[in-house]
Each structure stands twice: as C-alpha cells, then as structure tokens.
Amino acid sequence: MPLNIKTNLIYLILVVIGFSFITYSQAKLESSEGFVETPNGKIWYKIYGSGEEIPLLLIHGGPGGRSCRLKPISELSNERPVILYDQLGSGKSDRPSDTTLWHLQRFVDELDILIDSLHLNKIHILGHSWGSALAVEYFLTKKPVKVKSLILVGPLLSTSLWLEDANYLRKELPDSIQQVLKYCEQEGLVDSKEYYSATDYFYDRHMYRIKPIPEYPECGDSDFNEVVYKQMWGPSEFYCSGNLINFDRINRLNEITVPVLLLIGEYDEVRLETLLKIQKLFSNAQIEVIKDAAHMSMVDQPEEFNRIIRRFIRSIK
C-alpha cells in the first residue's frame, strides 16, 4: 500500500475513533418532544432544556400514572436537560388493550429502549413511588454504567414494607373511616363509591398537602390508567392485590453502588422510620425530608424539592 494512502487511512480511522469518543462522552440534548417506538407501542417523551450537563430522567409513579405530575421538576432544566416520559398505557403514550403487558420486566425493557433511543450516554435517574421500583429494577437487571446516581422519591422498594407503612398511617384515620374501608374490603366492595370516598381521607393526608391541588395544562390530554394500576397494584394505596404483591428488592439494594438520594415528604406514605432502615442497606445513600409535604412532595414544595435535587446532583463527581 502506498505510504500516502496508508497515512490517509490511518488518519481517517483516528478521526472516526475520535468522533465516536466525543459523541459518547459529550452527547448534547436539545429541547424536543416526540415518541419512541417499542415492540408494544409508542411511548411519549419530552426534553426540557439543553446542554452538555448530565441529563436527569424522570420516572413517574403509578403504575398507570403520568409524567405531567412531575412537571415542577422541569425547573431544573435551566442547568441540564430534564426528560419526562409517559409509560406505555398511560398519559400521552399508546394504550394497548393487551393486559399481559402490565408487568415489571416489560416496563424495564421499555425504559431501556427509551434510554438507548435518546442516546443517553450518562444520566441521573429520578423515580417517584412506583417509578423508584422501576428505576431500581432497571439498575439491577441491566447493570447500566451510564447511570451516575439514583434519586428515589417516596420509594416503593418492597410491597410488604409499603403496606406496613400505609396501614400504620391508616390506623390514624377516624374510626368511622377505618370501618368503611374494612367492610368494603371484606365484602369485595372496593369499587364502590363508599370505598373511594373513604380512601380520600387517606389521600388528603398523605398524597398532597397543598390545597387546592394545582392543575397542570400538560395533564389536560394525559390520563391515568386505572386498569394498569389495579392489575399491578390494586384498589388503593394500602391494599395490594395485583402482580406487585410479592415485589421486594430489599436484599439486593447493596448491589447499587452509585450515590443514592432517598427523599420523602414529612407526611409521606413512606415513613421516615422505614426509610432509615432502608438507607443502611445501600452502600452510599443519604436521606432528605421535606417539611409540610406529602407523597407528591415536588408539588407540595417545589422550590425546596428542586433545591435538594440540584444540590445532590451537583455533588456527583
């Protein structure tokens, strides 16, 4: 091979390698909105902000919830891209009728497809409630080196522990409300108006503290999917009859080596006493409690919530 051709070939290879390295290490996102194809339907996403700082990916609660309720966290986009997405079956994503899709591993695979499709080479992940279960399961099963930290807000990490907390708090409700709940559950009347009215007492204390609950325009065409919620969880936050009934990752939390932030509201469904026990199971986790906030702490106290998240992410080297 002539020297000049060989030299040019080597130069070309080095350019390609260098370009690939830059693309991998400095992926830059721009504000955008769209859909990602998965084997079972399209999932909607939206990127707030732009730049080369490590993006923050938000995983909403539910199951069957929607990302629009996490909108207050998008204020962090003045520093880094913030990505919201609706899980398949809810929000603005496709709503297939195949109920065999509603199980944990399929949601993990969906998340993996989204991250790859958006070329997220480095990310921070924030999971809220059920979204924390999904974030942890993704980390444990996919073992992604691209995840630099996990932020678990009001986290579901063990169904049995969740129910212990929920039923502890349920006992603080008025006796008349507890009697209605117990009667409806025993008689199979969990879809009744009486049951839903009684559960509202619990949600008023432990879901939102702010009244009235803010309405976000983004939620106007973004619906909750009750079918997914009931199949995977059940009729209420403190009564699990779905396929997550045996979910528990407590014994594997030591496998998570990245920095972890455990965040709850003062009146959260997850009790501080429980979270302190969970913290010890991680190799590197810290706890923050937001005053005068419940499970939806990012809605109750958005400024304080974002201040804590911003400080934590900035501390990751």
Of 20-34, 110-124, 171-185, give the lowest mean pLDDT range.
Answer: 20-34
Catalytic residues: 129, 268, 295
pTM: 0.90
Alpha carbon distance 288, 312 (integer Å): 10
Over residues 73-106, the pLDDT tens digits come to: 999 999 999 999 999 999 999 999 999 999 999 9
* pLDDT at residue 243, as a whole number: 98
Q: Is the pLDDT of residue 37 over 80?
A: yes
Give 265's DSSP letter.
E
Alpha carbon distance 130, 70 (integer Å): 13
* Superfamily per CATH, domain 31-314: Alpha/Beta hydrolase fold, catalytic domain (3.40.50.1820)
pLDDT class of 27 with cuts at 50, 70, 90: low
Give the residue-averaged pLDDT of 202-216: 93
Per DSSP bridges, beta strands 41-48 and 32-38 are: antiparallel
Q: Is the pLDDT of residue 210 over 50?
A: yes
Beta bridge pairs of residue 45: 34, 85
User: Which of these, 133, 187, 196, lies nearest to 160 by C-alpha position?
Assistant: 133
